[in-house]
Amino acid sequence: MLSVLKHRDYRHLFFAQVIALFGTGLMTVGLALLAFELAGDNAGVVLGTALAIKMVIYVFVSPLAIGFAAHLPRRALLVALDLVRAATALALPFVDAIWQIYLLIAVLQSASATFTPTFQATIPDILPDEDEYTNALSLSRMAYDLENLLSPMIAAVLVGLLGFHWLFGGTVAGFLFSALLVVSVTLPVARMSQSEPPLQRTLKGLQIYLKTPRLKGLLALNLAVAASGSMVIVNGVVLVKAWLGLTDTDLALSMAAYGGGSMVMALLLPRVLSTVPDRTVMLAGAAALPVLLFGFALLLTVLPAALVWPSLLIVWALMGAGMSAVLVPSGRLLKNSAHAEDRPLIFAAQFALSHGCWLIAYPLAGWLGSVAAPGWTMTVLAVLAVTGVLAARHLWPEGDRSVLAHEHPDLPPDHPHLAGGHGKRHAHAFVIDSLHSSWPDRQP
């Protein structure tokens, strides 16, 4: 996996992504503490609203960005977006009203919603080799998991030494270093069919995604992940600080437990996935999430107060592991569900639609946390997660295979679908795509 870092341009972009991720992780902890400082016990509502704003922007901006990014110089665009994010994060420590949080989050996340799909669309052009691109996807997933584990720990140290406002300084530094690394690379010119307008490309990606059974199942699994994750991210601060009366450092440690469980599962999954089908692993991981929520809600009614805190750390770690069991194999599903020229569109569709699930879960978790006891909040979110698991099991056929043999007798030899030495009859990812309905794909 690490061999892909021998490519200088990819290596610099990868570390730009990692550094920006760590800065964003520090901001997540800082934002929770800032919301608590301004709103007290209603911090969950404030944080839920801020995150809902983020999700609205991600859902509506990100799929459009992948269509329009090809018309702008990639390097200049990525650097400009990093600078916008740095300037916005710099202003966060100085806010003194809740509406200011909402405004700054809207600006910052608009830049992030454009940065991420642009970055993802760039990687296949830098790494045209299929195996190297797959390794890059796996490495990016590991970077997310490592950030989930380490940034809360770093945040805990900074909060203890300097106070939480300095977390935003780390965020600013992360975005600035990311911009410097992007400046140091040479990026290929984006390739886009002149016959496909940006909006048409956006709709094409969404259409392919929503007509592929395994990806419809993935979307339902994303709902289960969002339902459980929103309890941790939105109401974790209320549980730890208001309900248990613990410290800022304890909040950071609880988030580190969630990231640690995710990281451990990510390290174990390559060996597991070599023998167990993706569908089995992902459904099992998703099914564990509502069980953990139901179980912890029950424990809150019977456990003595002294045992609630260690139980929370254990449950958070296990939920992180379940989340990772769903998200790590998802890159393989996306890769095997699109032809090479359409893969950036598929990843953009996944980015938008998965965040749509968080758009449902975030405000629901924030509202429930403000009007109901934690146990009832967990129960409702668990029901939402169960709905996602059952839908995924129905939408994703049990006998689904990632690679099927089929023919394209009517395609010319130089068609991109037959590139790489494939003949008319070959085996590769099977995509149910109405846009290719004129191709007589068929199983043997």
Q: How far apart are CA 356 and CA 220, in angstroms?
A: 11
Whole-number mean pLDDT of the chain? 78
**What pLDDT digit, counting tens, does each position of 379-419 carry?**
999 999 999 999 999 999 887 665 544 444 444 554 444 44
**What pLDDT digit, counting tens, does each position of 21-30 carry?**
888 878 877 8
CA-based R_g, the chain, Å: 22
Q: How far from the centroid of its chain's Cα atoms is residue 340's Cα?
A: 21
Q: HEC states along 186-221?
A: CCCCCCCCCCCCHHHHHHHHHHHHHCCHHHHHHHHH
Please state which of the ranges 72-76, 218-222, 356-360, 365-369 shows the lowest mean pLDDT: 72-76
Q: How far apart are CA 162 and CA 139, in angstroms?
A: 32
* Contact call for residues 357 and 223 (beta carbons, < 8 A): yes
Q: How far apart are CA 319 and CA 224, in angstroms?
A: 11
Which pLDDT value is given to residue 71? 66
Please state which of the ranges 59-63, 79-83, 346-350, 414-418 shows the lowest mean pLDDT: 414-418
Average pLDDT over residues 165-180: 87
**What pLDDT digit, counting tens, does each position of 303-313 carry?**
887 888 999 99
CATH placement of domain 2-395: 1.20.1250.20
Q: How far apart are CA 110 and CA 57, in angstroms?
A: 6
- Hey, what's the torsion of the CAs at 299, 300, 305, 311, to 10 degrees? 50
Q: Tell me the one-letter amino acid at 34.
A: L
* Contact call for residues 269 and 281 (beta carbons, < 8 A): yes
DSSP 403: E
**What pLDDT digit, counting tens, does each position of 64-112 carry?**
776 666 567 778 888 999 999 999 889 888 888 888 888 888 888 888 8
Q: Is 241 exposed, middle or buried (0-12, 13-18, 19+ CB in 10 A)?
A: buried
Q: Is 312 exposed, middle or buried (0-12, 13-18, 19+ CB in 10 A)?
A: buried
- The band of 443, judged by pLDDT with boundaries at 50, 70 and 90, is very low
All structural domains of the chain with their residue ranges: 2-395, 403-436
* Contact call for residues 329 and 281 (beta carbons, < 8 A): yes
pTM over 0.75: no
Q: Is the pLDDT of residue 219 over 60?
A: yes
DSSP 96: -
Q: How far apart are CA 255 and CA 244, in angstroms?
A: 15
**What pLDDT digit, counting tens, does each position of 272-291 carry?**
877 888 899 999 999 999 99
